[in-house]
Structure 1
Protein backbone atom coordinates (compact mmCIF):
# COMPACT_ATOMS: atom_id res chain seq x y z
CA UNK A 1 0.00 0.00 0.00
CA UNK A 2 1.55 3.27 -1.15
CA UNK A 3 -1.42 5.61 -1.49
CA UNK A 4 -3.08 7.35 1.45
CA UNK A 5 -6.83 6.80 1.79
CA UNK A 6 -9.92 6.97 3.98
CA UNK A 7 -12.72 4.48 3.31
CA UNK A 8 -16.17 3.75 4.69
CA UNK A 9 -17.51 0.22 4.26
CA UNK A 10 -20.87 -0.89 5.67
CA UNK A 11 -21.58 -4.48 6.66
CA UNK A 12 -24.32 -5.87 8.92
CA UNK A 13 -25.18 -2.44 10.27
CA UNK A 14 -21.56 -1.58 11.06
CA UNK A 15 -19.75 1.30 9.36
CA UNK A 16 -16.05 0.46 9.17
CA UNK A 17 -14.02 3.64 8.69
CA UNK A 18 -10.39 2.96 7.79
CA UNK A 19 -7.61 5.51 7.29
CA UNK A 20 -4.13 4.87 5.95
CA UNK A 21 -0.95 6.77 5.18
CA UNK A 22 2.28 5.09 4.01
CA UNK A 23 4.27 7.04 6.62
CA UNK A 24 3.12 5.03 9.66
CA UNK A 25 -0.44 6.26 9.31
CA UNK A 26 0.51 9.86 10.00
CA UNK A 27 -2.21 12.45 9.47
CA UNK A 28 -1.81 15.25 6.87
CA UNK A 29 -4.59 17.80 6.37
CA UNK A 30 -6.30 15.99 3.51
CA UNK A 31 -6.57 12.73 5.46
CA UNK A 32 -7.90 14.57 8.51
CA UNK A 33 -10.56 16.24 6.37
CA UNK A 34 -11.56 12.97 4.71
CA UNK A 35 -11.72 11.24 8.08
CA UNK A 36 -13.99 13.96 9.48
CA UNK A 37 -16.24 13.69 6.43
CA UNK A 38 -16.41 9.89 6.67
CA UNK A 39 -17.41 10.07 10.33
CA UNK A 40 -20.14 12.59 9.51
CA UNK A 41 -21.34 10.52 6.55
CA UNK A 42 -21.59 7.37 8.65
CA UNK A 43 -23.40 9.32 11.36
CA UNK A 44 -26.12 10.33 8.90
CA UNK A 45 -26.47 6.95 7.16
CA UNK A 46 -29.46 4.94 8.37
CA UNK A 47 -27.69 1.76 7.26
CA UNK A 48 -25.04 2.37 9.94
CA UNK A 49 -25.94 1.63 13.55
CA UNK A 50 -22.42 1.67 15.00
CA UNK A 51 -19.03 2.85 13.72
CA UNK A 52 -15.65 1.10 13.91
CA UNK A 53 -12.60 3.37 13.54
CA UNK A 54 -9.48 1.58 12.36
CA UNK A 55 -6.27 2.16 10.42
CA UNK A 56 -4.70 0.23 7.59
CA UNK A 57 -1.65 -1.98 7.93
CA UNK A 58 -0.76 -4.30 10.78
CA UNK A 59 1.72 -2.21 12.75
CA UNK A 60 1.38 1.46 13.76
CA UNK A 61 -2.18 2.62 14.45
CA UNK A 62 -1.35 6.30 13.98
CA UNK A 63 1.90 8.31 14.13
CA UNK A 64 0.03 11.55 14.80
CA UNK A 65 0.45 14.78 12.87
CA UNK A 66 2.20 14.71 9.50
CA UNK A 67 5.74 15.76 10.34
CA UNK A 68 6.37 17.15 6.88
CA UNK A 69 3.28 19.33 7.06
CA UNK A 70 4.14 20.59 10.54
CA UNK A 71 7.60 21.60 9.32
CA UNK A 72 6.07 23.42 6.36
CA UNK A 73 3.94 25.75 8.52
CA UNK A 74 4.96 29.36 7.88
CA UNK A 75 2.33 31.49 9.66
CA UNK A 76 0.20 31.23 12.80
CA UNK A 77 -2.95 30.98 10.67
CA UNK A 78 -1.47 28.05 8.72
CA UNK A 79 -0.59 26.37 12.01
CA UNK A 80 -4.04 26.91 13.44
CA UNK A 81 -5.63 25.56 10.26
CA UNK A 82 -3.53 22.40 10.30
CA UNK A 83 -4.06 21.57 13.98
CA UNK A 84 -7.76 22.38 13.62
CA UNK A 85 -7.89 19.25 11.49
CA UNK A 86 -7.49 17.14 14.62
CA UNK A 87 -9.99 19.34 16.46
CA UNK A 88 -12.53 18.80 13.69
CA UNK A 89 -12.11 15.02 13.72
CA UNK A 90 -12.47 14.80 17.50
CA UNK A 91 -15.54 17.02 17.42
CA UNK A 92 -17.04 14.92 14.61
CA UNK A 93 -16.54 11.82 16.76
CA UNK A 94 -17.97 13.57 19.80
CA UNK A 95 -21.10 14.80 18.05
CA UNK A 96 -21.75 11.72 15.92
CA UNK A 97 -25.13 10.17 16.81
CA UNK A 98 -23.54 6.73 16.41
CA UNK A 99 -21.42 4.93 19.01
CA UNK A 100 -17.80 4.57 17.88
CA UNK A 101 -15.59 1.57 18.62
CA UNK A 102 -11.83 2.02 18.26
CA UNK A 103 -9.51 -0.68 16.88
CA UNK A 104 -5.87 -0.04 17.83
CA UNK A 105 -3.54 -2.69 16.43
CA UNK A 106 -0.17 -1.11 17.23
CA UNK A 107 1.76 1.87 18.54
CA UNK A 108 0.08 5.24 18.51
CA UNK A 109 1.58 8.69 19.03
CA UNK A 110 0.24 12.20 19.66
CA UNK A 111 -2.94 12.83 17.71
CA UNK A 112 -3.44 9.08 17.37
CA UNK A 113 -3.82 8.85 21.13
CA UNK A 114 -6.45 11.58 20.83
CA UNK A 115 -8.36 9.53 18.26
CA UNK A 116 -8.34 6.45 20.50
CA UNK A 117 -9.50 8.56 23.45
CA UNK A 118 -12.35 10.07 21.43
CA UNK A 119 -13.89 6.68 20.68
CA UNK A 120 -16.68 5.47 22.93
CA UNK A 121 -15.13 2.04 23.45
CA UNK A 122 -11.63 1.01 22.43
CA UNK A 123 -10.06 -2.41 21.94
CA UNK A 124 -6.37 -2.98 21.24
CA UNK A 125 -3.58 -5.52 20.93
CA UNK A 126 -0.83 -5.91 23.50
CA UNK A 127 1.45 -4.04 21.06
CA UNK A 128 -0.64 -0.85 21.23
CA UNK A 129 1.70 1.28 23.34
CA UNK A 130 1.15 5.04 23.41
CA UNK A 131 3.26 8.20 23.56
CA UNK A 132 2.59 11.93 23.73
CA UNK A 133 5.82 13.32 22.25
CA UNK A 134 4.67 16.89 21.63
CA UNK A 135 6.36 18.60 24.57
CA UNK A 136 9.73 17.16 23.54
CA UNK A 137 9.57 18.97 20.18
CA UNK A 138 8.45 22.30 21.59
CA UNK A 139 4.69 22.19 21.29
CA UNK A 140 2.17 20.27 23.42
CA UNK A 141 -0.85 17.96 23.11
CA UNK A 142 -3.21 20.91 23.53
CA UNK A 143 -5.89 19.89 21.01
CA UNK A 144 -6.22 16.29 22.14
CA UNK A 145 -5.82 17.02 25.87
CA UNK A 146 -9.57 17.33 26.65
CA UNK A 147 -10.31 13.98 25.02
CA UNK A 148 -7.36 12.19 26.62
CA UNK A 149 -7.92 13.68 30.08
CA UNK A 150 -11.61 12.81 29.88
CA UNK A 151 -10.70 9.17 29.25
CA UNK A 152 -7.60 8.53 31.43
CA UNK A 153 -7.72 11.35 34.00
CA UNK A 154 -5.49 14.35 34.60
CA UNK A 155 -2.77 12.44 36.43
CA UNK A 156 -2.16 9.96 33.60
CA UNK A 157 -2.42 12.73 31.00
CA UNK A 158 0.17 14.78 32.90
CA UNK A 159 2.48 11.79 33.20
CA UNK A 160 2.42 11.07 29.48
CA UNK A 161 2.81 14.73 28.57
CA UNK A 162 5.82 15.31 30.79
CA UNK A 163 7.50 11.96 30.08
CA UNK A 164 7.30 12.79 26.41
CA UNK A 165 9.94 10.39 25.11
CA UNK A 166 8.53 7.25 26.70
CA UNK A 167 6.15 4.73 25.17
CA UNK A 168 3.64 3.64 27.80
CA UNK A 169 2.59 0.01 27.44
CA UNK A 170 -0.80 -1.17 26.28
CA UNK A 171 -1.27 -2.71 29.72
CA UNK A 172 -0.67 0.72 31.30
CA UNK A 173 -3.14 2.32 28.89
CA UNK A 174 -5.74 -0.32 29.77
CA UNK A 175 -5.21 0.26 33.49
CA UNK A 176 -5.94 3.96 32.95
CA UNK A 177 -9.12 3.30 30.97
CA UNK A 178 -8.00 4.12 27.43
CA UNK A 179 -8.45 0.51 26.30
CA UNK A 180 -11.24 -1.75 27.53
CA UNK A 181 -9.67 -5.03 26.45
CA UNK A 182 -6.31 -6.24 25.09
CA UNK A 183 -5.65 -9.13 22.70
CA UNK A 184 -2.60 -11.19 21.82
CA UNK A 185 -3.02 -10.89 18.06
CA UNK A 186 -4.67 -8.66 15.47
CA UNK A 187 -6.77 -11.63 14.40
CA UNK A 188 -8.20 -12.01 17.91
CA UNK A 189 -8.78 -8.25 18.04
CA UNK A 190 -10.73 -8.31 14.79
CA UNK A 191 -12.96 -11.17 15.92
CA UNK A 192 -13.77 -9.29 19.12
CA UNK A 193 -14.39 -6.02 17.24
CA UNK A 194 -16.74 -7.66 14.74
CA UNK A 195 -18.63 -9.56 17.44
CA UNK A 196 -19.11 -6.47 19.61
CA UNK A 197 -19.99 -4.12 16.74
CA UNK A 198 -22.53 -6.46 15.17
CA UNK A 199 -24.13 -7.07 18.58
CA UNK A 200 -24.45 -3.31 19.20
CA UNK A 201 -25.84 -2.86 15.67
CA UNK A 202 -28.91 -4.85 16.74
CA UNK A 203 -29.67 -2.54 19.66
CA UNK A 204 -32.30 0.20 19.53
CA UNK A 205 -30.69 3.02 17.48
CA UNK A 206 -32.51 5.71 19.41
CA UNK A 207 -31.35 4.28 22.73
CA UNK A 208 -27.76 4.19 21.44
CA UNK A 209 -28.06 7.80 20.23
CA UNK A 210 -29.36 8.98 23.58
CA UNK A 211 -26.67 7.04 25.42
CA UNK A 212 -24.02 8.64 23.24
CA UNK A 213 -25.31 12.07 24.30
CA UNK A 214 -25.04 11.04 27.94
CA UNK A 215 -21.47 9.82 27.47
CA UNK A 216 -20.42 13.21 26.09
CA UNK A 217 -22.47 15.43 28.37
CA UNK A 218 -20.61 18.56 29.39
CA UNK A 219 -18.40 18.74 26.28
CA UNK A 220 -20.58 21.13 24.28
CA UNK A 221 -17.92 23.87 24.59
CA UNK A 222 -15.32 21.75 22.81
CA UNK A 223 -16.26 23.27 19.44
CA UNK A 224 -14.67 26.50 20.66
CA UNK A 225 -12.14 25.02 23.07
CA UNK A 226 -10.38 22.74 20.58
CA UNK A 227 -10.13 25.54 18.02
CA UNK A 228 -8.51 27.75 20.66
CA UNK A 229 -6.09 24.93 21.46
CA UNK A 230 -5.25 24.59 17.75
CA UNK A 231 -4.38 28.28 17.72
CA UNK A 232 -1.99 27.83 20.66
CA UNK A 233 -0.25 24.92 18.94
CA UNK A 234 -0.13 26.74 15.62
CA UNK A 235 1.76 29.61 17.23
CA UNK A 236 4.15 27.39 19.20
CA UNK A 237 5.18 25.44 16.10
CA UNK A 238 6.67 28.69 14.74
CA UNK A 239 8.80 29.37 17.83
CA UNK A 240 12.57 29.35 17.43
CA UNK A 241 12.87 26.49 19.89
CA UNK A 242 10.43 24.30 17.97
CA UNK A 243 11.86 25.16 14.55
CA UNK A 244 15.38 24.28 15.72
CA UNK A 245 14.15 21.04 17.24
CA UNK A 246 12.26 20.04 14.11
CA UNK A 247 15.35 20.64 11.95
CA UNK A 248 17.14 17.86 13.81
CA UNK A 249 14.50 15.42 12.54
CA UNK A 250 15.05 16.21 8.88
Structure 2
Protein backbone atom coordinates (compact mmCIF):
# COMPACT_ATOMS: atom_id res chain seq x y z
CA UNK A 1 0.00 0.00 0.00
CA UNK A 2 1.45 3.33 -1.07
CA UNK A 3 -1.65 5.45 -1.73
CA UNK A 4 -3.53 7.40 0.91
CA UNK A 5 -7.25 6.76 1.24
CA UNK A 6 -10.36 6.82 3.38
CA UNK A 7 -13.01 4.31 2.40
CA UNK A 8 -15.91 2.36 3.81
CA UNK A 9 -17.90 -0.79 3.16
CA UNK A 10 -21.30 -1.78 4.50
CA UNK A 11 -22.38 -5.35 5.15
CA UNK A 12 -25.24 -6.65 7.28
CA UNK A 13 -25.70 -3.32 9.03
CA UNK A 14 -22.00 -2.87 9.82
CA UNK A 15 -20.00 -0.05 8.22
CA UNK A 16 -16.24 -0.50 8.22
CA UNK A 17 -14.44 2.82 7.77
CA UNK A 18 -10.72 2.54 7.04
CA UNK A 19 -8.17 5.35 6.73
CA UNK A 20 -4.61 4.96 5.54
CA UNK A 21 -1.56 7.12 4.85
CA UNK A 22 1.90 5.63 4.17
CA UNK A 23 3.52 8.01 6.65
CA UNK A 24 2.60 6.11 9.85
CA UNK A 25 -1.08 6.86 9.22
CA UNK A 26 -0.47 10.53 10.03
CA UNK A 27 -3.45 12.36 8.58
CA UNK A 28 -3.20 15.43 6.33
CA UNK A 29 -6.11 17.84 6.17
CA UNK A 30 -7.57 16.26 3.03
CA UNK A 31 -7.83 12.83 4.67
CA UNK A 32 -9.23 14.27 7.91
CA UNK A 33 -11.95 16.03 5.90
CA UNK A 34 -12.72 12.80 4.06
CA UNK A 35 -12.83 10.86 7.33
CA UNK A 36 -15.27 13.39 8.81
CA UNK A 37 -17.47 13.05 5.72
CA UNK A 38 -17.43 9.24 5.82
CA UNK A 39 -18.44 9.18 9.49
CA UNK A 40 -21.30 11.61 8.86
CA UNK A 41 -22.46 9.67 5.79
CA UNK A 42 -22.51 6.36 7.66
CA UNK A 43 -24.33 8.01 10.55
CA UNK A 44 -27.06 9.17 8.17
CA UNK A 45 -27.27 5.86 6.29
CA UNK A 46 -30.33 3.88 7.40
CA UNK A 47 -28.68 0.63 6.30
CA UNK A 48 -25.89 1.18 8.85
CA UNK A 49 -26.48 0.23 12.47
CA UNK A 50 -22.92 0.31 13.81
CA UNK A 51 -19.57 1.68 12.63
CA UNK A 52 -16.14 0.08 12.95
CA UNK A 53 -13.30 2.58 12.57
CA UNK A 54 -9.81 1.37 11.77
CA UNK A 55 -6.59 2.26 9.98
CA UNK A 56 -4.84 0.31 7.26
CA UNK A 57 -1.55 -1.47 7.81
CA UNK A 58 -0.30 -3.58 10.67
CA UNK A 59 1.79 -1.10 12.66
CA UNK A 60 0.91 2.46 13.69
CA UNK A 61 -2.80 3.15 14.21
CA UNK A 62 -2.41 6.90 13.76
CA UNK A 63 0.55 9.23 14.29
CA UNK A 64 -1.71 12.27 14.55
CA UNK A 65 -1.88 15.08 12.04
CA UNK A 66 0.49 15.43 9.11
CA UNK A 67 3.83 16.81 10.29
CA UNK A 68 4.62 17.96 6.75
CA UNK A 69 1.62 20.28 6.87
CA UNK A 70 2.37 21.41 10.42
CA UNK A 71 5.86 22.71 9.66
CA UNK A 72 4.71 25.00 6.81
CA UNK A 73 1.95 26.86 8.69
CA UNK A 74 2.61 30.59 8.23
CA UNK A 75 -0.33 32.39 9.85
CA UNK A 76 -3.15 31.92 12.33
CA UNK A 77 -5.73 31.25 9.61
CA UNK A 78 -3.68 28.32 8.34
CA UNK A 79 -3.10 27.21 11.90
CA UNK A 80 -6.81 27.19 12.72
CA UNK A 81 -7.59 25.23 9.56
CA UNK A 82 -4.88 22.66 10.33
CA UNK A 83 -5.89 22.01 13.93
CA UNK A 84 -9.60 22.04 13.07
CA UNK A 85 -9.16 18.78 11.18
CA UNK A 86 -9.20 16.53 14.23
CA UNK A 87 -11.76 18.80 15.92
CA UNK A 88 -14.24 18.10 13.13
CA UNK A 89 -13.54 14.36 13.14
CA UNK A 90 -14.07 14.12 16.90
CA UNK A 91 -17.28 16.12 16.68
CA UNK A 92 -18.51 13.92 13.83
CA UNK A 93 -17.88 10.85 16.01
CA UNK A 94 -19.58 12.49 18.99
CA UNK A 95 -22.67 13.53 17.03
CA UNK A 96 -23.01 10.28 15.09
CA UNK A 97 -26.21 8.46 16.17
CA UNK A 98 -24.55 5.05 15.71
CA UNK A 99 -22.10 3.37 18.07
CA UNK A 100 -18.51 3.61 16.84
CA UNK A 101 -16.12 0.76 17.62
CA UNK A 102 -12.47 1.68 17.17
CA UNK A 103 -9.74 -0.88 16.40
CA UNK A 104 -6.26 0.25 17.50
CA UNK A 105 -3.75 -2.24 16.12
CA UNK A 106 -0.59 -0.24 16.90
CA UNK A 107 0.82 2.97 18.34
CA UNK A 108 -1.40 6.04 18.61
CA UNK A 109 0.04 9.53 18.97
CA UNK A 110 -1.67 12.89 19.46
CA UNK A 111 -4.78 13.01 17.31
CA UNK A 112 -4.71 9.23 17.07
CA UNK A 113 -5.32 9.10 20.83
CA UNK A 114 -8.14 11.59 20.29
CA UNK A 115 -9.84 9.29 17.78
CA UNK A 116 -9.54 6.34 20.15
CA UNK A 117 -11.00 8.42 22.99
CA UNK A 118 -13.87 9.71 20.87
CA UNK A 119 -15.02 6.22 19.95
CA UNK A 120 -17.78 4.57 21.96
CA UNK A 121 -15.87 1.32 22.43
CA UNK A 122 -12.18 0.88 21.75
CA UNK A 123 -10.41 -2.43 21.20
CA UNK A 124 -6.63 -2.68 20.93
CA UNK A 125 -3.66 -5.01 20.66
CA UNK A 126 -0.74 -5.17 23.07
CA UNK A 127 1.25 -3.11 20.54
CA UNK A 128 -1.09 -0.13 20.93
CA UNK A 129 1.07 2.16 23.07
CA UNK A 130 -0.19 5.75 23.29
CA UNK A 131 1.51 9.14 23.53
CA UNK A 132 0.55 12.82 23.67
CA UNK A 133 3.69 14.45 22.28
CA UNK A 134 2.41 17.97 21.63
CA UNK A 135 4.12 19.80 24.51
CA UNK A 136 7.48 18.53 23.30
CA UNK A 137 7.18 20.72 20.20
CA UNK A 138 5.80 23.75 21.99
CA UNK A 139 2.06 23.32 21.54
CA UNK A 140 -0.35 21.07 23.47
CA UNK A 141 -3.16 18.53 23.00
CA UNK A 142 -5.77 21.25 23.29
CA UNK A 143 -8.19 20.00 20.62
CA UNK A 144 -8.31 16.38 21.76
CA UNK A 145 -8.15 17.08 25.51
CA UNK A 146 -11.94 17.14 26.07
CA UNK A 147 -12.31 13.70 24.45
CA UNK A 148 -9.31 12.24 26.26
CA UNK A 149 -10.25 13.68 29.65
CA UNK A 150 -13.83 12.48 29.23
CA UNK A 151 -12.60 8.94 28.69
CA UNK A 152 -9.66 8.59 31.12
CA UNK A 153 -10.01 11.58 33.47
CA UNK A 154 -8.00 14.76 33.89
CA UNK A 155 -5.35 13.07 36.05
CA UNK A 156 -4.40 10.44 33.45
CA UNK A 157 -4.64 12.96 30.62
CA UNK A 158 -2.29 15.26 32.53
CA UNK A 159 0.14 12.41 33.14
CA UNK A 160 0.33 11.73 29.42
CA UNK A 161 0.58 15.41 28.51
CA UNK A 162 3.38 16.18 30.96
CA UNK A 163 5.35 13.07 29.97
CA UNK A 164 5.14 14.18 26.35
CA UNK A 165 8.07 12.11 25.11
CA UNK A 166 6.95 8.85 26.70
CA UNK A 167 4.76 6.09 25.34
CA UNK A 168 2.23 4.58 27.72
CA UNK A 169 1.53 0.87 27.29
CA UNK A 170 -1.69 -0.65 26.03
CA UNK A 171 -2.13 -2.17 29.49
CA UNK A 172 -1.92 1.32 31.03
CA UNK A 173 -4.52 2.56 28.56
CA UNK A 174 -6.74 -0.40 29.42
CA UNK A 175 -6.49 0.30 33.14
CA UNK A 176 -7.32 3.99 32.60
CA UNK A 177 -10.37 3.20 30.47
CA UNK A 178 -9.15 4.34 27.05
CA UNK A 179 -9.30 0.75 25.82
CA UNK A 180 -12.15 -1.59 26.69
CA UNK A 181 -10.18 -4.73 25.86
CA UNK A 182 -6.62 -5.58 24.79
CA UNK A 183 -5.77 -8.70 22.78
CA UNK A 184 -2.50 -10.18 21.60
CA UNK A 185 -2.76 -10.09 17.82
CA UNK A 186 -4.40 -8.16 15.00
CA UNK A 187 -6.26 -11.31 14.02
CA UNK A 188 -7.81 -11.48 17.48
CA UNK A 189 -8.60 -7.77 17.24
CA UNK A 190 -10.45 -8.31 13.95
CA UNK A 191 -12.46 -11.19 15.43
CA UNK A 192 -13.40 -9.28 18.59
CA UNK A 193 -14.51 -6.22 16.63
CA UNK A 194 -16.47 -8.27 14.10
CA UNK A 195 -18.31 -10.24 16.79
CA UNK A 196 -19.22 -7.12 18.76
CA UNK A 197 -20.28 -5.17 15.68
CA UNK A 198 -22.50 -7.98 14.43
CA UNK A 199 -24.15 -8.20 17.84
CA UNK A 200 -24.73 -4.45 18.06
CA UNK A 201 -26.12 -4.37 14.53
CA UNK A 202 -29.10 -6.43 15.74
CA UNK A 203 -30.07 -3.95 18.46
CA UNK A 204 -32.91 -1.45 18.17
CA UNK A 205 -31.46 1.58 16.27
CA UNK A 206 -33.71 3.98 18.16
CA UNK A 207 -32.51 2.62 21.49
CA UNK A 208 -28.90 2.90 20.36
CA UNK A 209 -29.43 6.49 19.20
CA UNK A 210 -31.04 7.45 22.50
CA UNK A 211 -28.35 5.68 24.52
CA UNK A 212 -25.57 7.38 22.60
CA UNK A 213 -27.17 10.77 23.28
CA UNK A 214 -27.19 9.93 26.99
CA UNK A 215 -23.56 8.75 26.91
CA UNK A 216 -22.47 12.02 25.27
CA UNK A 217 -24.72 14.39 27.20
CA UNK A 218 -23.28 17.78 28.16
CA UNK A 219 -20.90 17.79 25.17
CA UNK A 220 -23.13 19.77 22.82
CA UNK A 221 -20.84 22.79 23.23
CA UNK A 222 -17.88 20.90 21.74
CA UNK A 223 -18.58 22.22 18.24
CA UNK A 224 -17.48 25.62 19.46
CA UNK A 225 -15.09 24.48 22.19
CA UNK A 226 -12.87 22.39 19.93
CA UNK A 227 -12.59 25.20 17.39
CA UNK A 228 -11.55 27.55 20.18
CA UNK A 229 -8.92 25.00 21.19
CA UNK A 230 -7.78 24.80 17.56
CA UNK A 231 -7.21 28.57 17.62
CA UNK A 232 -4.92 28.18 20.65
CA UNK A 233 -2.77 25.59 18.89
CA UNK A 234 -2.89 27.58 15.66
CA UNK A 235 -1.41 30.56 17.46
CA UNK A 236 1.18 28.62 19.46
CA UNK A 237 2.55 26.90 16.37
CA UNK A 238 3.66 30.33 15.15
CA UNK A 239 5.62 31.10 18.32
CA UNK A 240 9.38 31.53 18.11
CA UNK A 241 9.79 28.57 20.47
CA UNK A 242 7.82 26.18 18.27
CA UNK A 243 9.18 27.53 14.99
CA UNK A 244 12.70 26.95 16.29
CA UNK A 245 11.90 23.32 17.09
CA UNK A 246 10.06 22.68 13.82
CA UNK A 247 12.89 24.20 11.78
CA UNK A 248 15.04 21.23 12.74
CA UNK A 249 12.66 18.95 10.86
CA UNK A 250 12.53 20.90 7.62
CA UNK A 251 14.29 19.26 4.71
Instruction: Verify same fold: TM over 0.5.
Output: yes
Structural RMSD (CA): 0.5
Residues 5-39 of structure 1 deviation map (CA, whole Å, 9 limit, x = unaligned): 00011111100000000000001000000000000
Match of 2:110 in 1: 110
Query: TM-score w.r.t. structure 1 length?
Result: 0.99
User: Does 2:201 match 1:193?
Assistant: no
SS at match of 2:122: strand
User: Does 2:182 match 1:202?
Assistant: no
SS at match of 1:217: coil
Cα distance in structure 1, aligned partners of 2:219 and 2:56: 30
SS at match of 1:220: coil
User: Does 2:115 match 1:129?
Assistant: no
Matches within 5 A, 1:1-250: 1-250=1-250
Q: Which runs of no fewer than 5 residues in structure 1 stay unpaired?
A: none
SS at match of 1:106: coil
Cα distance in structure 2, aligned partners of 1:6 and 1:29: 12
SS at match of 1:122: strand
SS at match of 2:173: helix
Cα distance in structure 2, aligned partners of 1:11 and 1:202: 13
Query: TM-score w.r.t. structure 2 length?
Result: 0.99
**Offset of residue 247 of structure 1:** 1.7
Q: Which runs of no fewer than 5 residues in structure 2 stay unpaired?
A: none
